[in-house]
């Protein structure tokens, strides 16, 4: 029912808009008018024409039919959802860092001079001096299931490289011998941590 009432009004306003000399002002008023049909008080603060679309930035006031209590709940929910989004992003960043670190440690284990046993229980015992938490250990175990490469070390975030370096040294030195491959990893980490250092 509301569509049948509103659509002719909108179509008429579109024709007026197409012939307007002050398009931006008229469109701002038109959008505010359209939303006003459903009781939403709106101020258009920015209009940006972009290809086949128009980006619109709005400031929306409390609708006429909305109680103060419901409006406050809406505002609170928006604030809380923003916090949730920020937390989710932070969690995603931490997960990405964990993946990077675990792949690097897995690569070091895979290129270790002592390749006599790929048994996870033995590897886990060898890693115990590193004091890794269970989540990191589980991630390393998962990363060990696929072959890793030196590219893992070369593409690390510098912060992760700094965190990984002492661990990498300990893993590389477990057999008291640093191979050429292990040396390359350590050099890559150092170049990320201290780009100006001559290695």
pLDDT band, very low/low/confident/very high, at 68 (cuts 50, 70, 90): confident
Spatial contact of 186 and 166, defined as CB atoms under 8 Å apart: no
Token pair in block for residue 192: 């990320």
pLDDT band, very low/low/confident/very high, at 9 (cuts 50, 70, 90): low
Residue ranges per domain, the chain?
2-68, 90-193
Instruction: Give the range with max mean pLDDT: 25-34, 73-82, 117-126.
Output: 117-126
pLDDT at 197 over 70: no
pLDDT at 83 over 70: no
Q: What is the mean pLDDT of the chain?
A: 77
pLDDT band, very low/low/confident/very high, at 3 (cuts 50, 70, 90): low
Start-to-end CA span in the chain (Å): 76
Q: pLDDT digits over 140-150, tens only?
A: 999 898 888 88
Residue 89 confidence (pLDDT): 65
3-state secondary structure of 58: strand
Contacts of 70-79 with CB under 8 Å at 24 or more apart are none
Query: What are phi and psi for residue 82, nearest 5 degrees?
Result: -65, -40
* Run of H or E including 72: helix 68-110
Query: What are phi and psi for residue 57, nearest 5 degrees?
Result: -105, 125
pTM: 0.54
Nearest Cα neighbor of 113 from 186, 174, 189 is 174
Spatial contact of 77 and 126, defined as CB atoms under 8 Å apart: no
Q: pLDDT digits over 99-123, tens only?
A: 888 999 999 999 885 554 578 888 8
């Amino acid at each position: 029912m509301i569509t049948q009432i509103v659509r002719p009004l909108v179509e008429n306003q579109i024709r007026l808009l197409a012939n307007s000399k002050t398009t931006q002002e008229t469109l701002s008023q038109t959008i505010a008018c359209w939303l006003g049909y459903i009781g939403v008080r709106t101020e258009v603060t920015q209009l940006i024409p972009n290809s086949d679309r128009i980006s619109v930035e709005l400031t929306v006031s409390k609708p006429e039919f909305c109680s103060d209590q419901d409006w406050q709940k809406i505002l609170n929910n928006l604030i809380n959802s923003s916090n949730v989004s920020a937390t989710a992003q932070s969690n995603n960043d931490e997960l990405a860092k964990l993946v990077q670190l675990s792949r690097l440690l897995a690569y070091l284990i895979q290129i270790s001079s002592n390749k006599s046993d790929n048994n996870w229980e033995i590897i886990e015992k060898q890693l115990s001096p590193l004091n890794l938490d269970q989540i990191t250990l589980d991630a390393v175990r998962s990363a060990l299931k696929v072959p890793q490469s030196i590219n893992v070390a070369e593409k690390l975030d510098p912060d992760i490289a700094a965190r990984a370096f002492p661990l990498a040294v300990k893993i590389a030195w477990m057999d008291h011998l640093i191979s050429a491959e292990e040396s390359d990893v350590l050099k890559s980490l150092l170049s990320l941590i201290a780009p100006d250092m001559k290695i």
